[in-house]
Structure 1
Amino acid sequence: MCGILGGAWFAGAQIPDVRVERALEQLRFRGPDDRGVEAFACASANVALGHTRLSIIDLSSGGHQPMKTTDGRYVLVFNGEIYNYRELRTELSNAGRVFTTDSDTEVLLAAWEAWGEQVLPRLIGMFSFVLLDQQRATLTCVRDAFGIKPLFYTVEGGQFLFASEVGAIKALKATPMQLDWQRAYDYLVHGDYDSCPSTFFDGVKQLAPGHVMQVDLHTSTLSEPRAWWKPTIKERTDLSFADAAEQVREQFLANIRLHLRSDVALGAALSGGIDSSAVVCSMRHVEPDLPIHTFSYIARDSDVSEEVWVDRVNAHVKARPHKVVVSAEDLVRDLDSMILAQGEPFGSTSIYAQYRVFQLARENGVTVTLDGQGADEMLGGYSGYPGQRLRSLLEKGRVGEAWSFLNEWAQWPGRDRMGGAKRCIAEMTQGSLYQALRSLNGMRRTPEWINREPLIERGILQEFPHQRAEVNESGRRLAAELGLSLTRRGLPALLRHGDRNSMRFSVESRVPFLTLDLVDLLLSLPESYLVSPKGETKSVFRAAMRGIVPDDVLDRRDKIGFATPEQALLGSMIDTIREWLRHDLHLPFFDQAAALREFEMIMAGKKPFSWQVWRWINFCRWHSHFLG
């Protein structure tokens, strides 16, 4: 696991060595074990490629980057892990390729040399990489199918810059960063972020998950990013539920085996829910003698505590548990460090719980952790996507089944028929009608603390960012929505949180649910296998894990996740928050005085508590650090 950066400087511009070194320093947590940077004159460009290394596979100097092919044509900087590198290496060796290291980086470089872009769907892993082809004079930028590993880029004065984190982009740029008002509005008012290529920094983009783009070093032109992989949702009808569960079981266990490949100590992040429990229990299933360390956040003396389930799983697999409990004082102490690590605003203080879990892993000498991220977006999540599931049934003319599903779905904790019906209506509306329904539901587009006129002058779109899944299969609305959640809305934000929090402590976070084979299998199954007629989410996966995960864990209906008692935490630091909100950001569209008045009313109990409070706090602190 590593950090990468670099760029192409055209028209005789020299590589700014000082800025490159500063940018490398911004990536020091991502790669504390080694660093390298090289310059290349290619066509009309001066190219720099830089790398910081966290050694996981092949701990020797053989994994040093940038890495070149023998003939010097290709030069690679790579962030990530290729878990099936041994299998690819064997295939390439049989074809005559000679390897000089045991690193997956050399395998990736050789695989690209042999097969080009066609190798991408064959890679099982997480990756972002940039490859210089000195013969064709191109820079090719690639990101894994789900965007597990980040890749940011910008064009400044005709020069192309890229890096693993926005902090490194800031260091590479010759001019100051500016705020992207659209992203700021979307976040502050609607809580939307990480749902498109744009970032909170004007002109800085992230390469979308499953995309590739190329810089032509002859012409200094950047191609439009294009997808090398997209989710497919065509339904297969050849599998019974039992057969599907068996295939899911086999594929998931195969994923776990591959994700356990490491030359350093590894463990698991354990929340106590089905997903992380399945990861931990499957680790024990495939490796009966493996020492397992688990790391858990515990909201002790709170109604959101998962400790009883954490203890149940640890006892089942005989793991060595490590737990962390956080306080408001901890949050105040670490908030700025976490905001700097994340690089952009985020959704709630639950991210802090994850931050401390990775810190705990590092403190106990564990460099690699396995995590249950991605399962919700593949298997129907906490709520079961009732709007999409109901619409699928109605499109197929199954009105009776739809009514039965709504009634059964509503029996689960935190659900009711009205909520399910509202989601169905929202799923079947769009445009101005959808926006109007959100307003009727109390979701305002211009609250009192937003000044409309400056936004109008800038042409900022003042409505809820509403992405629709591409559906080319009738009655497959749930599968289509899962595909959207995996790549464009939902999972990308969660993966960003995990990547930055883990890298802050030089820990590699692996996500064994997220492989193309498993996703393609699950999205091809009948929707009733994912969310059952009884409203049970992850139905086929629960069945697949019988005998591996304890039944009482699989039968849970009350999963909470990495939830923090947010109101109590923030309520204990009111004076500090007041000072943060009073710091003038000089943003014409953001009325901080009005926000502060509303904050006082919320804290006094005169208005309901909401995550809006956190968004004000997070945005103000982030802006002060990065743009102040």
Structure 2
Amino acid sequence: MCGIVGAFWKNRPHDAERLLGDALDCLKLRGPNDRGAEFESSGSGALAFGHTRLSVIDLSDAGHQPMRSADGRYAIIFNGEIYNYRELRAELQSGGEEFVSASDTEVLLRAWIVWGEACLPRLDGMFAFAVHDRQTNRLTCCRDAFGIKPFFYVAEDDAFLFGSTHPAMVALRGAPPRPNWQRCYDYLVHGDYDSNDETFIADVRHLPPAHLIEFDMGSCSVTRLAKWWSPSFVQRGEHSLASATEAVREAFLGSIRRQLRSDVQIGAALSGGIDSSAVVCAMRRVEPMAEINTFSYIASGTPLNEEKWVDLVNSHVDARPHKIEANEEDLLRDLDDLLIAQGEPFGSTSIYAQYCVFRLAREKGVTVTLDGQGADEMLAGYSGYPGYRLLSLLETSGVGAAHRFAREWASWPSRSYRLGLMELGRVALPDGLYAAARKRIGRDFQPDWLDIEAFEAHGVHFQEARPPRSKAARGRRVAEQLTKSLQERGLPALLRHADRNSMRFSVESRVPFLTIELAELLLALPEEYLISPTGESKSVFRAAMRGIVPDAILDRRDKVGFATPEQQWLTAIAPQLRATLSRDAELVPLLKAARLVAAFDAVIEGRQPFSWQVWRWFNFARWYVTTGVQA
């Protein structure tokens, strides 16, 4: 796991070495074990490659980057891990390729040389990398199928810049960042972020999941932006439930087995829910004698406390447990560090619980953790995507079938028949009716604490981006939405949180659910295998884990995860938050500070219902000020 940064300048700046050095300084926590930088000049301009390394596989100097091919034609910088590197290495060796290291970086470089971009779907891993081909004078940058590893870029008339973090990009550009007004609006009003290729900083873009971008240095232009893999919602195969259960079990255990490959100590993040418990129990299944360290956030004294489930799993696999608790005073102390680590605004204080877990792993000397992230978006978790499932049933089986499902689904905790119908409305209502319904319940698309005229001047669209529905997905609305959750709104934000939190403490976070093999298997199954007729979410996976995970975990009917008592915390520290918000909001030209503080007071004093909006107000204003954004 590493940090990468690079630039092509048509006219090399006089301080190029300083700019690259400053950018690499921003990546030191992503790669504390090694650092490399190279410049190469040609008639078309100057190319800079920089890399910081967190050593995980092949700890020797042979894994140093930038890495060049033996003939000098290709150079690569790579952030991530290729878990099936041993299998790929053996295949390449059988074709005559020779290796000088045991690193997965060299395997990736040789795979690119031999197979080109056709190697990408064959990679089981998480990655963001750039390859320079001297012969074609071309730079190719690629990102993994789910966007687990970050890749930001800026394409200008006379330069192409890229890197692993926002601060590195800002340092490389050598100029204060400017806000992306549309993304700021989307976050503040709709809680939407990391759902497309735009970031909170103007001109800085994400390379989307499963994409590559080609840059021609001769013409100083992007010549291609292409998607190399797309998940499909089409039902395929004739799996019985029994055969599907077996296939899911084998695919998941295979992923766990490959992701346990490491030359440093491995642990697991354990919340006590089905997903993280399955990861820990599967680790024991494939490595019966291994030492397993687990790391858990405990919300003692609150309804969110998962400790009894954490203890059950640890006892079941004979793990060495490590637990951490936190309160509002801890949050207040760590707030700025958390915000700086994330780089952009985010959704809720639950991200702080994850931050604490990764800090604990680092304190205990563990460099790699396995995590259950992505299971919900592959298996229709959370509350079971009820709106989409109801729409599928209406399109295929009629009102009666939808009514029967809604009634069964409503029998689970924290659900109701009315809530199911509301979810259906959220999915199926036309945009105009949806906006009217939102306003009726107090969620105005143009709140008075925003400077609406300023947003209008910057061309902002005052609407919520709702995913379109395809006619081809009739009867497959859950599967269709899962494909969007995996690569658009949903999982990308969660992966960003985990990547930034783990890298803050130089920990590599692996996500064994997120493989192309498992995604293609699950998304091709009948929807009732994912959400049973009784409303059970992750149904086929629960069945697949029988005999591996304790039944008490698999039979859970609630979902908590690393959640924090947000309302309790924010209310307790409201005076401190209000003081900071009052000061910071005055410095943010996008906001009307007095009205924003009045809205904050109304919520804290109980005159308005509590919502995540409180956190978004504070998070956004603090981010804007601490990162030096200038409108």
> Secondary structure at 2:36's aligned position in 1?
strand
- Distance in 2 (CA, whole Å) between partners of 1:308 and 1:436 is 44
Equivalent position of 1:262 in the other structure: 262
1:233 is displaced (CA, Å) by 1.6
Contact 1:146–1:492 (Cα < 8 Å) also in 2:
yes
- Distance in 1 (CA, whole Å) between partners of 2:257 and 2:59 is 20
- Distance in 1 (CA, whole Å) between partners of 2:170 and 2:96 is 43
Q: Does 1:531 align with 2:523?
A: no
Contact 1:245–1:543 (Cα < 8 Å) also in 2:
yes
- Distance in 2 (CA, whole Å) between partners of 1:470 and 1:365 is 48
Structure 1 residues 34-93: Cα deviation after superposition (integer angstroms, max 9, x where no partner): 000001124502000000000000000010000010111110000000000000000001
- Distance in 2 (CA, whole Å) between partners of 1:405 and 1:29 is 49
Correspondence 1:485-564 to 2 at 5 A = 485-564=485-564
For residue 542 of structure 2, what is the amino acid of its counterpart?
Answer: R
> Secondary structure at 2:462's aligned position in 1?
coil
- Distance in 2 (CA, whole Å) between partners of 1:395 and 1:606 is 42
For residue 355 of structure 2, what is the amino acid of its counterpart?
Answer: Y
Equivalent position of 2:619 in the other structure: 618
User: How many residues are treated as equivalent by the alignment?
Assistant: 628
Equivalent position of 1:240 in the other structure: 240
Provide closer, same or farther for how the CA distance between residues 426 and 605 of structure 1 changes in structure 2, counting only shifts above 3 A: closer
> Secondary structure at 1:128's aligned position in 2?
strand
- Distance in 1 (CA, whole Å) between partners of 2:283 and 2:471 is 36
- Comparing 273-282 and 9-18, the one that deviates more: 9-18
| Structure 2: gaps of 5 or more residues | none
- Distance in 2 (CA, whole Å) between partners of 1:54 and 1:163 is 16
> Secondary structure at 2:473's aligned position in 1?
coil
- Distance in 2 (CA, whole Å) between partners of 1:579 and 1:516 is 47
Equivalent position of 1:104 in the other structure: 104
Contact 1:12–1:44 (Cα < 8 Å) also in 2:
no
TM-score w.r.t. the length of structure 1 is 0.98
Equivalent position of 1:596 in the other structure: 597
Equivalent position of 2:283 in the other structure: 283
- Distance in 2 (CA, whole Å) between partners of 1:115 and 1:585 is 55
- Distance in 1 (CA, whole Å) between partners of 2:220 and 2:470 is 34
Structure 1 residues 170-204: Cα deviation after superposition (integer angstroms, max 9, x where no partner): 10013221011111111111111101110000110
1:12 is displaced (CA, Å) by 5.4
1:564 is displaced (CA, Å) by 0.3
- Distance in 2 (CA, whole Å) between partners of 1:289 and 1:165 is 38
> Secondary structure at 1:232's aligned position in 2?
coil
Equivalent position of 2:464 in the other structure: 464
Equivalent position of 1:191 in the other structure: 191
Equivalent position of 1:347 in the other structure: 347
Equivalent position of 2:161 in the other structure: 161
Contact 1:56–1:263 (Cα < 8 Å) also in 2:
yes
Contact 2:588–2:624 (Cα < 8 Å) also in 1:
no
> Secondary structure at 1:184's aligned position in 2?
helix
Equivalent position of 1:6 in the other structure: 6
Correspondence 1:129-168 to 2 at 5 A = 129-156=129-156, 158-168=158-168
- Distance in 2 (CA, whole Å) between partners of 1:141 and 1:172 is 17
Contact 1:271–1:306 (Cα < 8 Å) also in 2:
yes
1:451 is displaced (CA, Å) by 2.7
Correspondence 1:15-414 to 2 at 5 A = 16-156=16-156, 158-414=158-414
1:422 is displaced (CA, Å) by 1.8
1:240 is displaced (CA, Å) by 0.6
For residue 240 of structure 1, what is the amino acid of its counterpart?
Answer: S
For residue 459 of structure 2, what is the amino acid of its counterpart?
Answer: G
Aligned residues: CA RMSD: 1.3
> Secondary structure at 1:621's aligned position in 2?
helix
1:470 is displaced (CA, Å) by 4.5
> Secondary structure at 1:472's aligned position in 2?
helix
- Distance in 2 (CA, whole Å) between partners of 1:42 and 1:535 is 62
> Secondary structure at 1:223's aligned position in 2?
strand
- Distance in 2 (CA, whole Å) between partners of 1:603 and 1:424 is 31
- Distance in 2 (CA, whole Å) between partners of 1:13 and 1:588 is 32
For residue 610 of structure 1, what is the amino acid of its counterpart?
Answer: S
> Secondary structure at 2:598's aligned position in 1?
helix
1:430 is displaced (CA, Å) by 3.1
For residue 422 of structure 1, what is the amino acid of its counterpart?
Answer: M
Contact 2:5–2:168 (Cα < 8 Å) also in 1:
yes
- Distance in 1 (CA, whole Å) between partners of 2:264 and 2:152 is 28
- Distance in 1 (CA, whole Å) between partners of 2:165 and 2:240 is 45
1:574 is displaced (CA, Å) by 2.0
Provide closer, same or farther for how the CA distance between residues 5 and 471 of structure 1 changes in structure 2, counting only shifts above 3 A: farther
Contact 2:296–2:322 (Cα < 8 Å) also in 1:
yes
For residue 434 of structure 1, what is the amino acid of its counterpart?
Answer: Y
Provide closer, same or farther for how the CA distance between residues 507 and 372 of structure 1 changes in structure 2, counting only shifts above 3 A: same
Equivalent position of 1:475 in the other structure: 475
Structure 1 residues 277-303: Cα deviation after superposition (integer angstroms, max 9, x where no partner): 000000001110010000000000111
Q: How much identity, in percent, do the aligned residues show?
A: 55
Equivalent position of 1:438 in the other structure: 438
- Comparing 174-183 and 70-79, the one that deviates more: 174-183
1:454 is displaced (CA, Å) by 1.6
- Distance in 2 (CA, whole Å) between partners of 1:12 and 1:334 is 39
TM-score w.r.t. the length of structure 2 is 0.98
- Distance in 2 (CA, whole Å) between partners of 1:610 and 1:122 is 43
